[in-house]
Structure 1
């Protein structure tokens, strides 16, 4: 029912038009169709644009009230792999859009409308378009079918081909890989995105010119003669530095000219320097030559070779007659004989009768490349002979009795030694009671030992020895020492001392017993949650806490504990915003606290679900009674409670980053060890505070540590009755309640002995969780397997990239004997030292990927081989990369086993932690001999 007009029958604005028109407005139930010929599709053009030009007449311009006029028509499409000729079936077509005009043609004026629609998801060789009229008076003037492309381009030295715009359904961007220009490289494959509008956006992977080439326009041109470029970059070539050879074009480096060098620490792109010339004006100052001392000084070399790292060395030779040899250690040079930065040196210990020769050399960083002896001057020194006596260096007691002492002394060696040396020995010989005067005895001795008799028993004597010169005059300083003769003890006095000592000892023991009994009696009277103390709490710091935790369950009325330790908040001051979690007693909300006199701030709100019992309410609020007793920057802060209204609530500070285990899982491999150790330090500081207050947490785990925006970690979850994990395997039920097996010390599991020592064990597990970025402790082992493994001395292996010092601390926390585990003050101190010395974190503990990732060699958890790459990736929690492997054509496990680190990078795995996890997993897969049972390993 569409009529085709010839080009001569319609003229619009002076132009002849070819049109298809239909205008059966006077008839009912119109269904008129017009179909195009077969339109072939370019394979990559999955979406095309259809531009229509048409005229629609105003239905009001027709006379008569029985008209069924419409002012719209419909656009349809149908795909096909071949031209079906004139065959036409409505069922083959699907509707694309309803077309309505923007302007309607009246009787007096024609108005042409232009509308564009998109036909998407085309996949076959071609398609048809069809137009359906259901009662309009209209004319179709033109149909233009086209697709958009992003033109071929070069960006950042990468060429990208012409690309059809857009991708599939709801895919606005099409990723296009490019190729680097000649002599250019890129760390990652260059790519760019083509938008639906045919525009290039978001280039990724910049290409850079190779060494010896510089970027000019869209190409890499080799460096001109006299210029060089040493590294991959888009920087311009640099002029060769001084004292280098100018090579031909494309130089990577400029080599040093003849007789010029670079030191090992000099940059290869820097200038070259020459050897220094000889030092000048060597002078020896001999003002103390008689004492065997002199000073050497000199002037710096005239030519330093262009370097500032000039140093000097001094060589000493001593000559006897015509024979000369190095001085060695017999002559002392201060501050040193080599590596001197100053131009002077002090020389001492020179001997008489010898000649000395001193040679000074200048050195620089390039001196090792050539033997450049820079002898400036030879100074011959001959100190005069010395008549000074040798120096006495020490005195010792050889033997003693009630009335005698045998002494000897040592002298410093001198060269040459006098033929005979005499010594002067002085000591007090007695006193005159009448004159109150002490007399001295002076002995002149020919040897360095003496025995002195006629002394008083039990008396101390001060002896002074001094060597004499050959002329008999004292020489140098003397040496003094005190020695005592033996004391004679009468038998009666000895017995009295023994009896007196025994009496004093007995009294002391009796006092100790009384003190111990008093302390034990006081401890029995203090009833707290902790139970009896043990040797772990025997330090003075533990026995004298500034404040002691009070168990709220010791109150006859639990509400009294809440009133004492928690502030009441009116519910109108608390605004709930959204649910952020679920606790054992109800939902947890993020909200706002706006109380009078306090600054408005974000808070976390724990609620009690409807239908609770009174015991549940008391258990719920008991956590607030506990939390309200704590005040520390690493303990979650209680803001207050709502208890006097129907809906009870606990309000705490809001921690933006949530639980530590989830926070770490989301950032696997992205945080350095130093930052992780800092988080552990905060947790340990909080636990030290709790242990000082005699509080045992019992459930220390990464899931119960909260993290704020400043990455401060705070200990939370102080409920006495709590669900420890969502899955039943997470807890182990005993007569005393539930225990989190993976985090609990063996004595706490076996005997329910919870102490600060058991919290230290749990802290070791938390350290492992932190270094493993939230990995589940003991992986998929059952609770029975965990307990059996611990009792057989198995301990968790070091996580990947874990510093050795940190892992050693973990092992100390997991010692079977709880009394040997470190205490929280020790842990805080050690972590503080590690943070103050970051270099201590560089040594990495041994890592076994087979144990740490816990993968079978080529099989899944049931022992059967992995059936697909996606199944393997899911087993190591890397499912997000399944599409990357598929797109790269890695679809079998045999192909996975052939992959190397560079291959994993090339398929788009960028995060270091994820890269290492996949790489170590492949390493585990290659180990065909291991079943990787954690017990076998």
Structure 2
């Protein structure tokens, strides 16, 4: 087919339109250009040489399309196409506009590349009535610049689909308008719709259909279903995409009812439920009578009981039988001690809380009485869990009767006693006793002793010798007596290493068969000999020499410290922290606020280089900024190498204030020269179309890059990125400059993975004083990244930038996870003020997380400064082994994992649905090929099984493994609100 001009190319595009079929969806549609099948009646301005309409019959239906292609007009273009009046539903303040279109490459038009555009604009205007054919451009507000992802070349068709949001609608209806400023565009389909969260029951709470709003989340209150209650008002949030999320205040069925299919049903006969809960009714346990429908408890059969602390779900139990085989075993006749032992009852009554009590009765002749305190039981005489007890301090030649009773938690409900008894008589003599202690020999440092013992003495008799100084040692507590203890096999000993001319007190006791000292012992006092006078003089001289040397050492140390203090230049002030090095010198260069210039253009001329537009070649639209489109392009300045750049443009029709605001960012960027700050190449100010040209960062924003490479980078690489960001922030803080909007989205990454700080729209200069702040009277603050003092008082310092850097550290180690997840800004502020801090991300080194926590200290004066942070990160990089210790990680708090149900509250219907919920859908084929097609199979998987199906990246492997852990844990409704 021969192309004779732009018009022929457009008709060819329209001809192939029939291969695209609209997808059915659940949105509430307000306008569907493709489905109308009738004359659209859209208004064109101007009526001639602007937008045109075409029609084709496809599958028996008539379809209309609009196109415009006046790229060769030298005077520029401004062609408008306005829809008919679109009625708005009262609650639909936010609508979506889905466009399907093509844009032709300007380079395919000979002689028209300078006037040709590759974008068009979407506008909207509200009204309470249909104004018919009346059309005024001033009534419309711009919604978005529509830039194609793919541009169509000659003979090559690229269909683009874009969805834009029109927010803040409040009147009865609205119009949409499309502005062409010189592009070759074909508009195939315009579909306008709004989203709703459907009527649903979640957690036994009913929620009405709700229109999704322009807010981040719309809070909706619900009501518990019949026979269900909730302590808190059931709440849920409707997202902008029409999905229910974060249900709160779950309802629970009343006692006697259980949840069945989003309702509470009465317990059947033979089952019960005793408390308000979301659990099911339970079958009546053993030894209970059958219950009636809706029962709260199953009654015990006769002769069976429940203890007061027993849950109603436990079986009823009987009384224990008596203990078996009670026996008394004499330990040693000389000690007046025996051991009682027994076996547990044959029948415990079905309980495990048995305890035993021991009774004792002593008889002398015909007179018997309770042993009382005369007898000692070890460990005790009651509350015993073991089946053995030691009885001591028994008297000889008496009859003792011991009884043991077994009791359980239900024994109080019956008068029957379960006990056994045994009677024994003890015959023993008095134990050996020390009668005297003699001093056999002494010196200045030792004493030799011996002692006599009353007979009979067993062959294996052993002794305990205790001794201490009689006088208290200077500096010790006089109320505390310290003994040295020796255990001996014979009745002699030589004690050495004593002090000369000192009195010592010695005590000797006989040990019984168990190795314990008897109650009787003998105590005596002996003294060592006095030292030789010549030895005493030598000791005095030696002590004086040692003291003099110590004094000389102290004097030298004091002089050295004084000299060091005089030569150092330590910084004093409230910003000092324990991280600070002793010497912090500021650079000679200091930031100059361009807003202080009377003529803002003078600031641009001073800090930015002027570039001729002929040296700039635009290649592709990569986005739309606040002031206009952003292009990728090439900068070719004579004498310099060709360089890839990003080009920010100023949209047509700008005011002088908009131009000054646009160029003010260049005035700021032009003052910075650092490898971790985005580099300004120059500006275009002396020509009609103003531009800002910066270096091109191939990998884009850091947050998106991390999300796209989740789990693919090591901790060492991530810490290296953080070191680069910290170095850039150190440079800014050294220039007395506060960024105010430090976040991963404002960090750009080049092809070498170097990170550079960008976006200086919210930045402000510090005052000269060390407590200098910038105070605003209004404007938005990025709450999740902002320090509490900056939120509360709108005061910003380098310390508040340090807080933000801590959040950036968390974003990096969490691979772009959103800080504080889905919490609202109000909940974030409340949690921070109550002391909550973000938990450690998965696999985060402990040293890195500790630095984060230091950045989040409530007292800003105690936070580390950027020089400290750079130093700490460099030390970690020089010692990679320091990154091996991993911080404690709780998957239920630290990452977002699903619970046992999908987004609608029902169990996951498929493995692919579960994988999609944790953003791991790329592994659906791996699971399918391995034959894992049900969630029951997923729950049986171990880490090794996940590796075997082809999941190799450590981050992905752990995310899937932790998700399975969350699925197994029925309590893992992982919401940060439960932290």
- Same fold (TM > 0.5): no
TM-score after normalising by structure 2: 0.40
TM-score by structure 1 length? 0.42
Q: Find the structure with the greater CA-based Rg.
A: 1
